[in-house]
A = this chain, B = another copy of it.
Amino acid sequence: MKRTRPRIYFYSRLDLAAVWREALVAELGDNFDFIVGPHCDTPGDMDVGVMYSLPPDGLVEFCNLRAIVSLSAGINQFDRARMPLGVPLARSVDDSLAEHIVAYAKTAVYRYHRRFHRYEVASRESAWKYELPRLNRETAVGILGLGELGTAVADALVTDGFEVHGWSRTARELSNIQTYNGAAGLSQLVGAVDILINLLPLTAETRGILSSDLFTHFRPGAFLINMGRGDHLIEADLLTAIGQGRIEAATLDVMSVEPLPTDHPFWGHPGILITPHVAGILTPATAAPQVAENVRRAMRGEPLINQIDFDKGY
List the interface of chain A (C-beta within 8 A of B).
Answer: 14-16, 19, 96, 99-100, 103-104, 106-108, 110-111, 113-116, 119-120, 122-126, 128-133, 135-136, 159-161, 258-260, 262, 264, 267-269, 272-278, 281, 283-284
Contact = CB atoms under 8 A, between A and B. Distances in A.
- State the main secondary structure of chain A at its contact with B: loop
A129 B283 contact: no
Given A124-B268, A268-B123, A16 B130 contact: yes
Contacts of A267: 123-124, 126
B19 A119 contact: no
Contact of A273 (B14, B123, B262): B123
What is the count of identical protomers in the complex?
2
Contact of A133 (B104, B128, B136): B104
A99 B273 contact: no
Nearest to A161: B99
Among A16, A125, A274, the one with the most B-chain Cβ atoms within 10 Å of its Cβ is A274
Given A106-B106, A135-B96, A268-B123, A278 B128 contact: no
A113 B119 contact: no
A122 B259 CA distance: 13
27 contacts: A15-B130, A16-B130, A96-B135, A99-B136, A103-B113, A103-B160, A106-B160, A107-B110, A107-B116, A110-B110, A111-B116, A116-B273, A119-B275, A120-B120, A120-B273, A122-B276, A123-B267, A123-B274, A126-B262, A126-B264, A126-B267, A130-B276, A131-B276, A132-B281, A132-B283, A133-B278, A135-B283
A131 B281 CA distance: 11
Given A111-B116, A275-B119, A268 B126 contact: yes
Contacts of A160: 103, 106
A119 B14 contact: no
